[in-house]
Amino acid sequence: MQLIDGKATAEAIKAEIAEEVKSIMAAGGKQPHLAAVLVGHDGGSETYVKNKVIACEKCGFKSTLIRYEDDVTEDELLACVERLNNDNDVDGFIVQLPLPRHIDEQKIIEAIDYRKDVDGFHPINVGRMSIGLPCFISATPLGIVTLLKRYNIETAGKKCVVLGRSNIVGKPMAQLMMQKQYGDATVTVCHSHTADIKKECREADIIIAAIGKPDFVTADMVKEGAVVIDVGTTRVPDATRKSGFRLNGDVKFDEVAPKCSFITPVPGGVGPMTICSLMKNTLQAAKGW
């Protein structure tokens, strides 16, 4: 069994990005600039955005954090998106999700200029990705295909099971694994209405778990020699931690790991790769398609 070190891979990629930024700026080019919009004080979102700002520093990017309280109106947020769309210094920006219930998330996403949508959530980017055109690809799925590639994990012709069908992870993940230039795999997407998830998983060469159910994937669901990618990051209470919680993956790691050829840990697997893919997308936005 080989542990896939997402943290080390992400650090290496950020160092590569920083080198590229240095040479862009040495040639008189513009410093890439990522802006992030954060609404409210959700602990998870605060941490993610803080880590994105730190990653920008590592990559040599400029970053701007724009904060609003929970009671921000939809119109105020739309006006902020419009300002960022028109700000020539900002190459790309994200609006951290989830947003408060009184705000229509989809409306906000669709207001973002797709050429600055480094999260890859805009329907234009989703559509372009699905037919293999230049676009911004959602950061978590992009991070996962990057990890598979860096670890030389064969995907072509393999049976890949994606657990979960979210717009942010499950759907784009399935698309990438199916596409020629990324996965070239035979893909099955499982969700809450799948008749026999255990059976589908047992037949898989590659399992990508993104359902947000702690310890859902157990040893009896995994074929000997399978590759297991764990996207889960549920915060579960843990009195032994200073923070009072720990991040729990979708995979019961201790019992599944011995059966795998490769597996990602939580934390330190997919999470750091998500942020580094956002940096890659931002560099791409700065360079132009």
Residue 262 has φ and ψ, to the nearest 5°, of: -140, 145
The reply to whether 2 belongs to the active site is: no
Catalytic-role residue among 91, 96, 252, 284: 96
Residue 40 annotated in ligand binding: no
18 near ligand GUN, rule: CB under 6 A: no
Q: Which H or E run includes 200?
A: helix 197-202
As a whole number of angstroms, the distance between CA 280 and CA 139 comes to: 9
97 near ligand GUN, rule: CB under 6 A: yes
- Indicate the SS3 state at residue 280: helix
96 near ligand GUN, rule: CB under 6 A: yes
Residue 246 burial class via C-beta count within 10 angstroms: exposed 0-12, middle 13-18, buried 19 and up: middle
The reply to whether 280 belongs to the active site is: no
Q: Binder to ligand GUN among 17, 80, 81, 139 (CB under 6 A)?
A: 139
As a whole number of angstroms, the distance between CA 93 and CA 96 comes to: 10
Residue 45 annotated in ligand binding: no
Residue 235 annotated in ligand binding: no
- Looking at beta carbons, which residue is closest to ligand GUN? 97
As a whole number of angstroms, the distance between CA 260 and CA 225 comes to: 5
The reply to whether 52 belongs to the active site is: yes
Lay out the site mask for ligand GUN across 177-216 (x = CB under 6 A, - = otherwise): ----------------------------------------
Q: Which residues bind ligand GUN (CB under 6 A)?
A: 94-97, 119, 139, 168
Q: Which residues are catalytic?
A: 52, 96, 119
